[in-house]
């Protein structure tokens, strides 16, 4: 039996549904999802294994014009996703007009590898709008195959997956067949906590936060975790903690519930907040948090 395998890298503007699609393919919540832009900060692999195939998906940060070092590094992940793709997925959403970065856009339209343009969130549109949008994108990216999808509702997701399998080269697997991702457990803990911060805090706060899991002890019945929530300034620390600690408590309770579902085990989660001055612009700190690429 011939075995197929390859890298399928998902790129697009912020908030279009890239992470939702990857999770739908993998069937696990590997990437966090929120309605805020820049939810994803890393390149996260999601691996789908079958007897005769291995699809190595990459979820990437939404494309933006970087304003500080962290965002530069995020765009470095996007750049890397162009370099090793066997199939490129360019995701756009209904109503969207263009990719904000011309250099990246040109890379897509001049791509030598197959491009699948996924027009997402069609559950929010009608037939007429859909047809117009398909036409617009067919003109803008003539080298792409277009699939209207709803990553959220699973519409056309299976069809896209079958097309990916068609396009993959013959190759042995790149990763062990029981592996789902390239990221360690601690990464998912950090991300789960960061998702709650994105959900519950406004404006600049979530963007100034980084999480680090300092302790992870797995016992027979329970996993004990201690994580630090880092902010850039003293004023942000007070906001994260909230009145009598109520805001931080909510983050902890909600993250613990998700982590119990993720690990299938009881979790004890301790969180505290620390100022790590201007970490977003500090190369050493960024390297420590895995943003070097
Ligand atoms: N109606 C609808 N909403 C969707 C669909 N797919 C994703 N969403 C929503 O769009 C928002 C963004 O989804 P994400 O998957 O986090 O988007 P992303 O492209 O990964 O965003 P960044 O990581 O910030 O670049 C969330 O609120 C999702 O629930 C869809 O097919 N239909
Ligand atoms: Mg994302």
d(CA 170, CA 152): 31
Closest residue by Cα to atom 32, ligand 1, is 121
Q: What is the pLDDT of residues 155-209, one digit of tens each?
A: 999 999 999 999 999 999 999 999 999 999 999 999 999 999 999 999 999 999 9
Closest residue by Cα to atom 11, ligand 1, is 35
The answer, yes or no, to whether any atom of ligand 1 lies below 6 A from the CB of 151, is yes
Nearest-atom number in ligand 1 for the CA of 36 is 24
Give the mutation target among 9, 23, 33 for probing the ligand 1 site: most ligand atoms within 8 A of CB. 33
Closest residue by Cα to atom 1, ligand 1, is 121
- Mean per-residue pLDDT of the chain: 96
Q: What is the pLDDT of residues 246-273, one digit of tens each?
A: 999 999 999 999 999 999 999 999 999 9
pLDDT at 293 exceeding the cut of 70: no
Nearest-atom number in ligand 1 for the CA of 149 is 31
Give the mutation target among 11, 130, 152 for probing the ligand 1 site: most ligand atoms within 8 A of CB. 152
Q: How far is CA 184 from the centre of its chain?
A: 15
Ligand 2: centre distance to CA 12 (Å)? 10
Q: What is the pLDDT of residues 10-36, one digit of tens each?
A: 999 999 999 999 999 999 999 999 999
**What pairing do the DSSP bridges indicate for beta strands 115-120 and 87-93?**
parallel
Give the pLDDT band of residue 292 (cuts 50, 70, 90).
Answer: confident
The answer, yes or no, to whether any atom of ligand 1 lies below 6 A from the CB of 125, is no
d(CA 61, CA 77): 7
Task: Sheet containing 222-231: give its strands across.
Answer: 210-218, 222-231, 266-275
Give the pLDDT band of residue 106 (cuts 50, 70, 90).
Answer: very high
């Amino acid at each position: 039996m011939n075995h197929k395998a390859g890298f399928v890298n998902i790129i697009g503007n912020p908030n279009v549904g890239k992470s939702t699609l990857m999770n739908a393919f993998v069937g696990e919540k590997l990437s966090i999802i929120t309605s805020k832009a820049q939810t994803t900060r890393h390149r996260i692999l999601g691996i789908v294994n079958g007897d005769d195939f291995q699809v190595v998906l990459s979820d990437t940060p939404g494309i933006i014009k970087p304003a500080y070092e962290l965002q530069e590094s995020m765009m470095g992940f996007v750049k890397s996703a162009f370099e090793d793709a066997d199939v490129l997925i360019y995701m756009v959403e209904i109503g969207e007009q263009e990719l904000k970065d011309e250099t990246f856009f040109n890379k897509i339209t001049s791509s030598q590898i197959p491009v699948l343009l996924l027009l997402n969130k069609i559950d929010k549109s009608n037939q007429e709008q859909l047809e117009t949008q398909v036409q617009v994108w067919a003109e803008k990216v003539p080298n792409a195959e277009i699939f209207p999808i709803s990553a959220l509702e699973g519409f056309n997701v299976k069809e896209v997956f079958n097309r990916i399998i068609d396009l993959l080269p013959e190759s042995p697997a790149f990763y062990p067949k029981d592996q789902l991702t390239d990221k360690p457990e601690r990464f998912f803990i950090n991300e789960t906590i960061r998702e709650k911060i994105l959900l519950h805090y406004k404006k600049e706060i979530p963007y100034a936060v980084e999480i680090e899991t300092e302790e992870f002890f797995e016992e027979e019945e329970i996993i004990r975790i201690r994580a630090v929530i880092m902010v850039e300034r003293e004023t942000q620390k007070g906001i994260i903690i909230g009145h009598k600690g109520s805001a931080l408590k909510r983050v902890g309770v909600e993250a613990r519930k998700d982590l119990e579902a993720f690990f299938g085990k009881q979790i004890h989660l301790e969180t505290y907040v620390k100022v790590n001055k201007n970490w977003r612009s500090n190369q050493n700190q960024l390297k420590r948090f895995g943003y070097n690429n």
